[in-house]
């Protein structure tokens, strides 16, 4: 068993499940989407990305790319949330909440691709 693969797999699956938890709920209802959960998803995705920087394989490059896409989407969602609440003062309107949740949905899709690629890589390993 490769401890690096276990830790990376753990963080990839954790980021997917946390992102799913944030994403689920009414799209435009801010009460269904917690800011701390979005922060946790962003933090776990950052950790997963950092863990992938040393891998020089082709699959590692694709996994790094999916992690970078997820981080970009989540940073955009956090930025929209921050601007809406702290800069403009409009708060979380249904339209802004829908934008935040949609951006996290894009990150979740990138996380799903990462998990699928991780499963493919695991299945293709020869003993």
Residue from 82, 77, 68 nearest 110 by CA: 68
The first and second tokens of residue 83, run together, are: 């601007």
DSSP, res 24 = -
**Full pLDDT tens readout for the chain, 127 residues:** 788 888 988 999 999 999 999 999 999 898 999 999 999 999 999 999 998 887 788 888 999 999 999 999 999 999 999 999 999 988 899 999 999 999 999 999 999 999 999 899 888 876 6
Q: What is the pTM of this model?
A: 0.90
Q: What is the DSSP letter of 32?
A: G
């Amino acid at each position: 068993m490769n401890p690096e693969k276990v830790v990376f797999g753990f963080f990839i699956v954790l980021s997917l499940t946390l992102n799913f938890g944030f994403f689920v709920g009414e799209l435009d209802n801010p009460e269904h989407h917690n800011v701390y959960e979005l922060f946790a998803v962003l933090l776990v995705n950052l950790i997963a990305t950092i863990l992938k920087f040393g891998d020089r394989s082709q699959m590692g490059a694709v996994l790094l790319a999916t992690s970078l896409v997820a981080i970009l989407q989540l940073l955009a969602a956090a930025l929209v949330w921050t601007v809406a609440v702290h800069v403009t003062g409009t708060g979380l309107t249904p339209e802004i909440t829908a934008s935040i949740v949609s951006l996290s949905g894009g990150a979740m899709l990138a996380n799903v691709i990462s998990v699928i690629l991780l499963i493919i890589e695991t299945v293709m390993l020869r003993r």
